[in-house]
């Protein structure tokens, strides 16, 4: 349960607070955090919230070579921003519901590093990198690196989507039981070229390993090739993922779903008209 | 312990309260501000019964700490009554039988009002998507959709 | 001709609900109010050797910690068999069983203090599978009743011989999961000590008189010192029938011992973990039929997982038992049904009450029979359907009000059965497979032979000086439109304007006991009791009017708000003024007893109920064979309800029930391992959302029932009952596999398709 709220106004101050107070957490929109720090259902013991609302992390900058999105931009703001890549828009629209999107931030969604984020694979498929502020330094790493070496002590400042997405084909997929259920498995793909010759594909999934990930081996196999049949893609994906069984689905089910979602997405992407 | 202050614009009025920093916005509204029209259905942001407007946008008040509302404007079901969209929604919810047990109803009204502000003439699909964070267990939703559609057509003229 | 019945006046109760001004229990507070939180068993079965509250009591804001030994009266909750304790004493028998009550000055302290009460448990072996509980030599789960909490049998004709001569025999085993009510307002009560030494209990509930009796048990004081006040109730669906007695007794004991008002409102997690649910069921069922489609025998076995205590399980089981073969005339019928104790949360009432489980089984199997016979499934249903002059499974000869064939035919047409069923192009443009399915059901309205002793209703009606009318009944509004419908009945019978009729808020010290608000009975039973009272008051008024107008009372006619005799005409309000001038008492007590039922409990034969509602459902689906996802495209839900008193509210019941039924069929999977419910919240337990809803077309058939008000029969439960089998049959039509377990989740469908191994 939070007993204390600190609202730093600079990044430096925020990082300093986080590193000097033992049971502290960064608080952005709060949709991930506020429901789990409650007494009696508490899985996390955090006394101090470092509330990021006053930090200058709320801008979206669309430039020729890149798009920079501040960590505190809400998911709903992304939904409503027509200058963003259509692939990202499709993924954020599929995320949760309006009430949650109003508070939830892109930084919080990434920082939560949860298997149920359907936004994460879309960002991977957009080649996104991430700006972080740690104890002593700032750094820019790929989102893939961030997810696989997740460090919740680092403050997410922004993400950067390089240009190039305009020329790529893409598709996103998400499996849930009802429309508002959290995602069990999600997938996103993008590539240049055509159905006859796929170039530089990115294939990302979430829900099948503890965090969102790219299927590099499949990407390598497809690069320069024509689009394989659904069955052939299914088989390849199943070789690459080994999800854990849990209450929402068995390993076999999730493996099957990830294969279906990836092959569906690749086939949809191949037939999508590149619009920009 | 109520040891911190909260300044906000609550239902149109600038106010200051003494609050417990561990309170959610929902706790604050129901217990400190005594505005019990906002309901708690799950306390975890999964049902939408506690929907209020924060700076004009719909949020689950159980997922917002009271402290996060500092300096912002909060509108609850008690405050939305002065809004002309409310009159149309109220008449339409009544006429269409869109409220049965009523525990979800204030949340639906707030979400619907937010939708109609952004989009005065929503399609059926837009109505459904705007309301997908609000659970109802009585009506089967269809009468709620008709009520919102009808209220949009009447544009607060009733 | 009725003037009000059959129209759709607005719901007066909805106004304050829409405004947010309606006071639900958690919106109320009383001076000096304390908060209670329960300490609950974390084990499915454990010995309790010591309860140490000292750490909790060290917190300055903690008022008291109460255990079983502090209970002033009996440590029992009265329902059917009185086996369940209010607080566990020596042993805890399910996860979540109440062990102690913590009372504190504020809610948060109560929550924290509950975690500080240290209970010494020694874990004992637990049985959570009903089949293991039935095994020979199994440990005794329920110390009072043993492991079979209740058993019912029906034995009609000679099932074995009939099966042996049947041309076609089909059989199957069907399983259904838990269903959680998921009312949006969780369980909650406030107990307030009264000056006279009693307790006033405010709360969210269906059956105030159940709670009244329970408070008398645990406090050991006369019922006349206790009153129960229903607060605006945010959904119930059966979940607030039997269960609220438990929190009500906890709060009442706490208030009684601390002399302070005590609020106890459950969190959603607590509610899902500890409140009653729909019983998981196992149904093995077999039909034998002649080549022409006549069903000649049905043999069934029905097992319910009841949980640790019996609650309403005996009656839930009974309702399921007598409906288990479906709405068909079948000469030879046998069923053996058991409610079995396990070390898991006790299950209880839920809309449908033991019928959705058997309906899923029998209506799925009817379709399998149709396949084997090479017959159209709707034709097969029509061939065997109940009708006037035919007898039900339990030999009840139907004498009136049977619209089953009519409702089946109308739903068949509305769902474009023949056209859709024979569609050549089954793959839709999105790659999904189209299917259409059908089901039928009957539902004995009211308590019937199983609850005969309490199937009566009382009403009190009085007219005020201004011509407004006040009615007191003990059945409750919980969202279903009870107050609107009963006001309409009163207005129609009395000749008053419906806007002038008000229902008195429920307080057991002020309203008559009208029996429980369950079994889709309130419109029928309280409706008839109100008519009884209204007729008496109308006669008083008409006598005065006839005298003053100087006409014979037989010449008087009336419509809502006016009384006339030929050209002479006065308003209802004027008539009331005349009555006050004449010093007559404009009030009456009404009473209604359900018709008698003849029942033989030896062979399970007789009139199980006095009337039945008949249902037919058509469902269209699109199934994704790759992901296992089922999209429901359209539901046609038809019901013969005798008379639709308020058409809009009837539609509301039909649509709401269909969506709950759809959730039961497809999404709602309460995962429990070793008696522990996992992820007790709405991201673990998934109910339908706004974006999942298909078109739901109500079809209303009105074959009047003489014994119901203006011909009406009950409707609350039927809309849920037959949804799941219609969807299962549609899935079969779409992809050719039969799913025999609810819910039919994507994973289960893929497993059955053998896409996932």
- What pLDDT, in 10s, does the model give residues C534-545? 999 999 999 999
Residue A97 has its nearest CB partner, among B4, B64, B132, at: B132
Angle of helix C208-219 relative to helix C245-258, nearest 10 degrees, comes to 40
Is C691–A247 a contact, with Cβ atoms under 8 angstroms apart?
Answer: no
* A44 lies in the same domain as A148: yes
Task: List Cβ neighbours of C160 (8 Å cut-off, separation of 6 or more).
Answer: none
Question: For the structural domain made of C281-449+600-756, what CATH number should be given?
Answer: 3.30.365.10
Is A256–C108 a contact, with Cβ atoms under 8 angstroms apart?
Answer: no
Final residue before a domain boundary, out of A127, A162, A197: A162
**On the CB side of C361, how many CA atoms lie within 13 Å of its CA?**
31
When the pLDDT of each residue in chain A is averaged and rounded to a whole number, the result is 92
Sign of CA dihedral A43, A46, A47, A52: negative
| pLDDT at residue A45, as a whole number | 67
- Give the 3-state secondary structure of residue C264: strand
Task: List Cβ neighbours of B71 (8 Å cut-off, separation of 6 or more).
Answer: B7, B8
* A98 lies in the same domain as A135: yes
Residues present in chain C in total: 757
Does C115 reach chain A within 8 Å, measured CB to CB? yes
Is A34–B64 a contact, with Cβ atoms under 8 angstroms apart?
Answer: yes
Give yes or no for a contact between C206 and C236, defined as CB atoms under 8 angstroms apart: yes
A275 inside domain: no
Residue spans per domain, chain C: 25-124+187-265, 281-449+600-756, 456-593
Residue B101 has its nearest CB partner, among C19, C185, C687, at: C185
Does B105 reach chain C within 8 Å, measured CB to CB? yes
Does A78 reach chain B within 8 Å, measured CB to CB? no
A&B contacts, CB < 8 Å: 75
Give yes or no for a contact between A157 and A224, defined as CB atoms under 8 angstroms apart: no
CA–CA gap between residue C85 and residue C87 (Å, rounded): 5
CA A69 to chain centroid, in Å, comes to: 13
Nearest one of C377, C373, C395, C376 to C386, comparing CA atoms: C395
Final residue before a domain boundary, out of A113, A139, A162: A162
Question: For the structural domain made of C25-124+187-265, what CATH number should be given?
Answer: 3.90.1170.50
What structural domains and CATH numbers belong to chain B?
4-76 (3.10.20.30), 83-153 (1.10.150.120)
- Alpha helices in chain B, H assignment, sequence order: 25-27, 84-96, 105-118, 124-130, 142-154
Predicted TM-score (pTM) of the model is 0.97
Does C746 reach chain A within 8 Å, measured CB to CB? yes
* A192 lies in the same domain as A127: no
CB atoms within 10 A of CB B16: 10
Work out the pLDDT band at A276, boundaries 50, 70, 90. Answer: very low
* A230 lies in the same domain as A180: yes
CA dihedral C351, C357, C363, C365 (to 10 degrees): 180
CA angle C78, C84, C90 (to 5 degrees): 140
Per-residue CA distances from A132 to A107, A151, A200, B15 (Å): 10, 10, 27, 37
Strand B13-19 to strand B4-10: parallel, antiparallel, or no bridges (unpaired)?
A: antiparallel
Category of A139 on φ-ψ map: left (φ > 0), alpha (ψ -120 to 50) or beta: beta
CA–CA gap between residue B16 and residue A161 (Å, rounded): 42
| pLDDT at residue A44, as a whole number | 59
CA distance B56 to chain A (A): 10
Q: How close are the terminal C-alpha atoms of chain B, in Å?
A: 46
Per-residue CA distances from C117 to A182, C51, C65, C98, C374 (Å): 35, 7, 8, 13, 65
Final residue before a domain boundary, out of A162, A196, A223: A162
Task: List Cβ neighbours of A100 (8 Å cut-off, separation of 6 or more).
Answer: A31, A75, B45, B60, B63, B133
Nearest one of C280, C289, C287, C368 to C320, comparing CA atoms: C280
Nearest one of C34, C39, C36, C35 to C117, comparing CA atoms: C39
CA C500 to chain centroid, in Å, comes to: 30
Task: List Cβ neighbours of C459 (8 Å cut-off, separation of 6 or more).
Answer: C471, C472, C473, C512, C514, C526, C529, C530, C532, C533, C589, C590, C591, C592
| pLDDT at residue B155, as a whole number | 61
Residue C473: its H or E element: strand C469-473
- What pLDDT, in 10s, does the model give residues A254-273? 999 999 999 999 999 999 76
* A146 lies in the same domain as A221: no
Mean pLDDT by 10 residues, chain C (757 residues): 95 96 98 98 98 98 98 97 97 98 96 96 98 97 98 98 98 98 98 96 98 98 97 98 98 98 97 98 98 98 98 98 98 98 98 98 98 98 98 97 98 98 95 98 94 92 98 98 98 97 97 95 97 98 97 96 95 98 98 92 94 98 96 98 98 98 97 92 94 97 97 98 98 97 97 78
Residues forming beta bridges with residue C332, ordered by sequence position = C297
Does B8 reach chain C within 8 Å, measured CB to CB? no
Residues forming beta bridges with residue C564, ordered by sequence position = C557, C569
Q: Please return the burial class of B51, using the count of CB atoms within 10 Å of its CB with bins 0-12, 13-18 and 19+.
A: buried
CATH number at residue A126: 3.30.465.10
Is C756–A182 a contact, with Cβ atoms under 8 angstroms apart?
Answer: no
Is C234–B103 a contact, with Cβ atoms under 8 angstroms apart?
Answer: yes
By C-alpha distance, the chain C residue nearest B124 is C691
- From chain C, the residues in CB contact with A253 under 8 A are 746-747, 750, 756
Quote the tokens at residue C227.
């009153």
By C-alpha distance, the chain A residue nearest B65 is A34
* A183 lies in the same domain as A232: yes
Q: Would you say residue B24 has pLDDT above 90?
A: yes
Residue numbers of A between 188 and 227 with CB closer than 8 Å to B: none
Give yes or no for a contact between C471 and C485, defined as CB atoms under 8 angstroms apart: no
Residue A179 has its nearest CB partner, among C684, C691, C755, at: C691
Residue A103: its H or E element: helix A98-103
Per-residue CA distances from A78 to A20, A101, A151, A267, C101 (Å): 33, 9, 25, 26, 48
- Alpha helices in C294-453, H assignment, sequence order: 313-323, 355-373, 377-384, 404-414, 417-421
A&C contacts, CB < 8 Å: 57
Is B77–C181 a contact, with Cβ atoms under 8 angstroms apart?
Answer: no
CA distance B52 to chain A (A): 9
A204 inside domain: yes
Q: Would you say residue A42 has pLDDT above 60?
A: no
Sheet with C226-230, edge to edge strand ranges: C62-67, C98-104, C34-40, C262-265, C188-193, C199-203, C226-230
A95 inside domain: yes
A209 inside domain: yes
CA distance B119 to chain A (A): 12
Is C690–B93 a contact, with Cβ atoms under 8 angstroms apart?
Answer: no
CA–CA gap between residue C10 and residue B148 (Å, rounded): 17
- What pLDDT, in 10s, does the model give residues B102-139? 999 999 999 999 999 999 999 999 999 999 999 999 99
Sign of CA dihedral C602, C606, C608, C610: negative
CA–CA gap between residue B148 and residue B127 (Å, rounded): 7
Phi, psi of C135, rounded to the nearest 5 degrees: -65, 150
Sign of CA dihedral A200, A206, A209, A213: positive
User: Which of A2, A40, A95 should one mutate to test binding to chain C, selecting the residue with the greatest count of C CBs within 10 A?
Assistant: A40
The secondary structure of B58-69 as a DSSP string is EEEGGGSBGGGG
- From chain A, the residues in CB contact with C690 under 8 A are 179-180
Residue C19 has its nearest CB partner, among B42, B46, B81, at: B81
Q: Name the E strands within A108-182.
A: 129-133, 138-142, 155-162, 169-175
Q: Which three-class secondary structure string do you get for C378-416?
A: HHHHHHHECCCCCECCCCCECCCCCCHHHHHHHHHHHCC
Is C690–B46 a contact, with Cβ atoms under 8 angstroms apart?
Answer: no
Sign of CA dihedral C355, C360, C366, C369: negative
Does A45 reach chain B within 8 Å, measured CB to CB? no
Residue B48 has its nearest CB partner, among A7, A99, A103, at: A99
Residue C296: its H or E element: strand C295-307
Does A97 reach chain B within 8 Å, measured CB to CB? yes
Question: For the structural domain made of C456-593, what CATH number should be given?
Answer: 3.30.365.10
| pLDDT at residue A41, as a whole number | 47
CA–CA gap between residue C631 and residue C717 (Å, rounded): 24
Residue numbers of C between 633 and 672 with CB closer than 8 Å to A: 666-667, 671
CATH number at residue A239: 3.30.390.50
Does B150 reach chain C within 8 Å, measured CB to CB? no
| pLDDT at residue C479, as a whole number | 97
CA distance A202 to chain B (A): 30
- From chain A, the residues in CB contact with C671 under 8 A are 247
Quote the tokens at residue C289.
């039929």
A129 inside domain: yes
A238 inside domain: yes
Work out the pLDDT band at B2, boundaries 50, 70, 90. Answer: confident
By C-alpha distance, the chain B residue nearest A4 is B21
CA distance B118 to chain A (A): 11
Quote the tokens at residue C640.
């013969």
Query: How many domains is chain A partitioned into structurally?
Result: 2
A156 inside domain: yes
Is B94–C15 a contact, with Cβ atoms under 8 angstroms apart?
Answer: yes
CB atoms within 10 A of CB C553: 14
* A125 lies in the same domain as A211: no
User: Which of B45, B69, B131 should one mutate to test binding to chain A, selecting the residue with the greatest count of A CBs within 10 A?
Assistant: B45
Is B133–A34 a contact, with Cβ atoms under 8 angstroms apart?
Answer: no
* A123 lies in the same domain as A21: yes
- From chain C, the residues in CB contact with A187 under 8 A are none
In chain B, DSSP finds a helix count (H) and a strand count (E) of: 5, 5
* A228 lies in the same domain as A103: no
Find the domain containing A40 and state its range: 4-162
Q: How close are the terminal C-alpha atoms of chain A, in Å?
A: 48
- From chain C, the residues in CB contact with A252 under 8 A are 756-757
* A71 lies in the same domain as A46: yes
* A15 lies in the same domain as A145: yes
Quote the tokens at residue A73.
């931009």
User: Which of A3, A174, A229, A257 should one mutate to test binding to chain C, selecting the residue with the greatest count of C CBs within 10 A?
Assistant: A257
Is A253–C690 a contact, with Cβ atoms under 8 angstroms apart?
Answer: no
CA–CA gap between residue C543 and residue C549 (Å, rounded): 10
Q: Which residues of A touch C (CB under 8 A)?
A: 39-41, 175, 177-182, 247, 249-250, 252-253, 256-257, 260-261, 264
When the pLDDT of each residue in chain C is averaged and rounded to a whole number, the result is 97
Residues forming beta bridges with residue C300, ordered by sequence position = C285, C335
CA angle C137, C299, C745 (to 5 degrees): 80
- Give the 3-state secondary structure of residue C303: strand
Does B2 reach chain C within 8 Å, measured CB to CB? no
CA distance B53 to chain C (A): 15
Does C691 reach chain A within 8 Å, measured CB to CB? yes
CA distance C90 to chain A (A): 26
Residue A260 has its nearest CB partner, among C626, C678, C679, at: C626
Domain C281-449+600-756 and domain C456-593, same fold? Reply is yes
* A157 lies in the same domain as A176: no
Rg (CA), chain C: 27
Phi, psi of A19, rounded to the nearest 5 degrees: -85, -15
- From chain A, the residues in CB contact with B130 under 8 A are 98
Quote the tokens at residue C719.
């809309």
CA–CA gap between residue C407 and residue C437 (Å, rounded): 15
Angle of helix C12-19 relative to helix C482-494, nearest 10 degrees, comes to 150
């Amino acid at each position: 349960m939070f007993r204390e709220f600190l609202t730093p106004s600079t990044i430096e101050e925020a990082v300093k607070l986080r590193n000097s107070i033992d049971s502290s957490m960064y608080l952005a929109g709060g949709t991930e955090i506020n429901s789990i720090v409650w007494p009696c259902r508490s899985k996390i013991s955090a006394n101090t919230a470092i509330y990021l609302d006053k930090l200058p992390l709320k801008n979206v900058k669309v430039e020729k070579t890149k798009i920079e999105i501040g960590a505190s931009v809400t998911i709903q703001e992304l939904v409503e921003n027509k200058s963003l890549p259509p692939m990202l828009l499709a993924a954020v629209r599929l995320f949760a519901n309006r009430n949650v999107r109003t508070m939830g931030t892109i930084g919080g969604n990434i920082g939560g590093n949860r298997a149920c984020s359907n936004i994460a694979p879309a960002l991977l498929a957009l080649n996104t990198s991430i700006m972080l502020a740690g104890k002593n330094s700032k750094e820019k790493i790929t989102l893939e690196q961030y997810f696989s070496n997740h460090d919740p002590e680092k403050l997410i400042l922004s993400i950067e989507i390089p240009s190039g997405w305009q020329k790529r084909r893409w598709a996103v997929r998400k499996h849930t039981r009802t429309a508002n259920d959290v995602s069990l498995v999600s997938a996103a793909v993008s590539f240049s070229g055509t159905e006859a010759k796929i170039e530089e594909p990115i294939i990302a999934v979430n829900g099948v390993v503890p965090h969102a990930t790219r299927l590099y081996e499949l990407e390598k196999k497809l690069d320069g090739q024509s689009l394989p049949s659904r069955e052939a893609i299914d088989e390849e994906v199943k070789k690459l993922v080994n999800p854990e069984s849990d209450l929402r689905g068995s390993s076999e089910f999730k493996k099957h779903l990830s294969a279906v979602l990836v092959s569906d997405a690749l086939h949809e992407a191949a037939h999508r008209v590149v619009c920009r | 312990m109520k040891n911190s202050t909260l300044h906000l614009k609550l239902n149109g009025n600038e106010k200051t309260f003494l609050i417990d920093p561990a309170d959610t916005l929902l706790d604050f509204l129901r217990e400190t501000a005594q505005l019990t029209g906002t309901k708690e259905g799950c306390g975890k942001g999964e049902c939408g019964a506690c929907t209020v407007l924060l700076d004009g946008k719909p949020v689950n008040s159980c997922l917002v700490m009271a402290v996060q509302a500092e300096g912002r404007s909060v509108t609850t079901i008690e405050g939305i009554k002065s809004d002309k969209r409310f009159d149309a929604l109220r008449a339409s919810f009544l006429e269409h039988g869109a409220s049965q047990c009523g525990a979800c109803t204030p949340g639906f009204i707030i979400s619907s009002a937010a939708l109609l502000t952004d989009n005065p003439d929503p399609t059926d699909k837009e109505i459904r998507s705007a309301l997908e964070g609000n659970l109802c267990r009585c009506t089967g939703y269809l009468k709620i959709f008709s009520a919102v559609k009808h209220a949009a057509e009447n544009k607060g003229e009733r | 001709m009725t003037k009000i019945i059959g129209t759709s006046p607005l719901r007066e109760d909805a106004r304050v609900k829409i405004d947010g001004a309606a006071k639900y229990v958690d919106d109320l507070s009383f001076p000096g109010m304390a908060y209670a939180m329960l300490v609950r068993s974390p084990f499915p079965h454990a010995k309790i050797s010591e309860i140490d509250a000292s750490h909790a009591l060290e917190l300055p804001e903690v008022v008291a910690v109460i255990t079983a030994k502090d209970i002033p009266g009996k440590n029992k909750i009265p329902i059917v068999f009185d086996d369940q304790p209010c607080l566990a004493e020596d042993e805890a028998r399910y996860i979540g069983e109440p062990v102690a009550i913590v009372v504190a000055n504020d809610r948060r302290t109560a929550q924290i203090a509950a975690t500080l009460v240290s209970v010494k448990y020694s874990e004992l072996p637990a049985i959570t599978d009903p089949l293991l509980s039935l095994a020979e030599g199994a440990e005794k789960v329920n110390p009072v009743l043993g492991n079979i909490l209740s058993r019912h049998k029906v034995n009609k004709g000679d099932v074995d011989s009939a099966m042996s001569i049947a041309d076609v025999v089909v059989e199957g085993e069907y399983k259904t999961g838990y269903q959680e009510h998921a009312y949006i307002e969780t369980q909650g009560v406030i107990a307030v000590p009264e000056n006279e030494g009693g307790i006033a209990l405010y709360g969210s509930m269906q059956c105030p008189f159940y709670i009244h009796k329970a408070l008398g048990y645990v406090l050991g004081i006369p019922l006349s010192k206790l009153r129960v006040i229903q607060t605006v109730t945010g959904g119930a669906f059966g979940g607030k029938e039997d269960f609220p007695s438990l929190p009500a007794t906890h709060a009442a004991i706490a208030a009684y011992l601390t002399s302070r008002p005590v609020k106890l409102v459950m969190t959603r997690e607590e509610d899902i973990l500890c409140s009653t649910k729909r019983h998981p069921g196992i149904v093995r069922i077999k039909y034998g039929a002649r080549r022409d489609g006549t069903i000649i025998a049905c043999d069934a076995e029905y097992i319910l997982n009841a949980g640790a205590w019996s609650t309403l399980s005996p009656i839930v089981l009974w309702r399921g038992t007598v409906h288990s073969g479906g709405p068909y005339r079948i000469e030879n019928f046998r069923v053996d049904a058991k409610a079995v104790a396990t070390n898991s949360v006790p299950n209880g009432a839920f809309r449908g009450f033991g019928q959705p489980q058997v309906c899923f089984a029998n209506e799925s199997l009817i379709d399998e029979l149709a396949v084997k016979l090479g017959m159209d499934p709707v034709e097969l249903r029509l061939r065997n359907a109940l009708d006037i002059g035919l007898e039900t499974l339990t030999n009840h000869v139907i004498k009136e009000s049977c619209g089953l064939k009519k409702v089946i035919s109308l739903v068949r047409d509305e769902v474009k059965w023949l056209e859709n069923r024979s569609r050549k192009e089954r793959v839709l443009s999105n790659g999904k497979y189209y299917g259409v399915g059908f089901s039928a059901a009957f539902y004995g309205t009211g308590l019937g032979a199983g609850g005969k002793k309490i199937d009566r209703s009382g009403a009190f009606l009085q007219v005020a000086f201004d011509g407004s009318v006040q009615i007191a009944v003990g059945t409750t509004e919980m969202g279903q439109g009870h107050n609107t419908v009963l006001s309409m009945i009163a207005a129609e019978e009395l000749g008053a304007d419906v806007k002038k009729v008000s229902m008195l808020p429920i307080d057991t010290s002020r309203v008559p006991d009208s029996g429980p608000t369950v079994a889709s009975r309130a419109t029928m039973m309280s409706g008839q009791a109100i008519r009884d009272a209204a007729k008496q008051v109308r006669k008083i008024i008409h006598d005065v009017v006839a005298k003053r107008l100087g006409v014979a009372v037989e010449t008087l006619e009336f419509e809502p708000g006016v009384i006339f005799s030929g050209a002479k005409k006065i308003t209802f309000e004027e008539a009331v003024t005349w009555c006050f001038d004449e010093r007559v008492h404009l009030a009456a007590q009404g009473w209604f007893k359900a018709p008698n039922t003849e029942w033989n409990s030896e062979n399970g034969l007789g009139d199980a109920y006095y009337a039945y509602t008949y249902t037919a459902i058509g469902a269209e689906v699109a199934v994704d064979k790759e992901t296992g996802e089922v999209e429901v495209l359209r539901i046609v839900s038809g019901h013969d309800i005798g008379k639709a008193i308020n058409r809009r509210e009837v539609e509301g019941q039909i649509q709401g029930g269909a969506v709950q039924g759809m959730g039961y069929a497809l999404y709602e999977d309460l995962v429990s391992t070793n008696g522990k419910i996992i992820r007790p919240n709405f991201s673990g337990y998934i109910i339908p959302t706004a974006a999942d809803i298909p078109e739901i077309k109500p079809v209303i058939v009105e074959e009047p029932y003489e014994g119901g008000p203006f011909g009406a029969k009950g409707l609350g439960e039927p809309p849920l009952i037959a949804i799941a089998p219609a969807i299962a049959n549609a899935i079969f039509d779409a992809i050719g596999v039969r799913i025999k377990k609810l819910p039919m989740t994507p994973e289960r469908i893929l497993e059955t398709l053998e896409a996932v191994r």
